Copies of this chain bind each other. A is one copy, B any other.
Amino acid sequence: MWKPLYTNISRHVSLNREDEAVIESLFRHRRYRKKQYLLQEGEICRYESFIIKGCTRTYEAGEKGQEHILQFGLEGWWVGNLYSFLSKTASGYNIDCLEDCEVLQITSTDLENLYARCPVMERFFRIIIQNAFIALQNRILNTLSKPASERYHDFILKYPQIEQRVPDKEIASYLGITPQSLSRIRKNYRSGKLP
């Protein structure tokens, strides 16, 4: 159960046996069913979650039923609403499961605890957030500079696993276009022309 988390952490910092003991005392294991919320708009985000198994979506719900996907989550990713988690204010968006999920969760109090007892984890989370930040910058530049068709092709190249597992309409939402537009882009693609 702890293996995937340690693998993830060891990519950036080294843990010793005591660190692992602390981690095992502060994270809790939890399962969620497909469609179940990890976090619902209006709630305070109580946990940052590390995905061991399954697939999540983080999205904002518009007035007219539109959903805007901020992020997908797969095995080895961290999900949560950092702002709500840190400031203890109501979350402006939802996180739910596109598949049955298994996660490891930590509360903000325990995370502070973890930083105090394993300073190396402060570094770990700085690096994780740094990488997420860099990825978001690239996503913004993409959105600014490329047409939808190109953003879609970039997406399937970058996240082939996601393209396999989530419905097209979710991907359309992530790209900021309608499912109809995505369908037309795919049609053009299949018929040879890539524009």
Q: Tell me the residues in window 91-124 of chain A with beta carbons closer than 8 Å to chain B beta carbons.
A: 93, 115, 119, 122-123
Q: On chain A, which size bracket covers the interface?
A: 20 to 34
> What is the total number of copies of this protein in its complex?
2
From A24-32, A34-42, A127-135, A163-171, give the one contacting chain B: A127-135
CB-defined contacts of A132 to chain B, threshold 8 Å: 133
CB-defined contacts of A139 to chain B, threshold 8 Å: 140
Q: Given B66, B115, B140, which contacts A140 in the complex, CB threshold below 8 Å?
A: B140
CB-defined contacts of A129 to chain B, threshold 8 Å: 126, 129-130, 133
Which residue of chain B lies nearest to A142 when distances are taken between CB atoms in the complex? B68
Tell me the A residues contacting B by CB distance below 8 Å.
Answer: 60, 62, 66, 68-70, 82-83, 86, 93, 115, 119, 122-123, 125-126, 129-130, 132-134, 136-137, 139-141, 143-145, 173, 176
Q: Can you list 19 A-B contacts (CB < 8 A)?
A: A60-B141, A66-B145, A68-B141, A68-B145, A82-B130, A82-B133, A93-B141, A115-B123, A119-B119, A119-B122, A125-B126, A126-B126, A129-B130, A129-B133, A136-B136, A139-B140, A140-B140, A140-B143, A144-B173
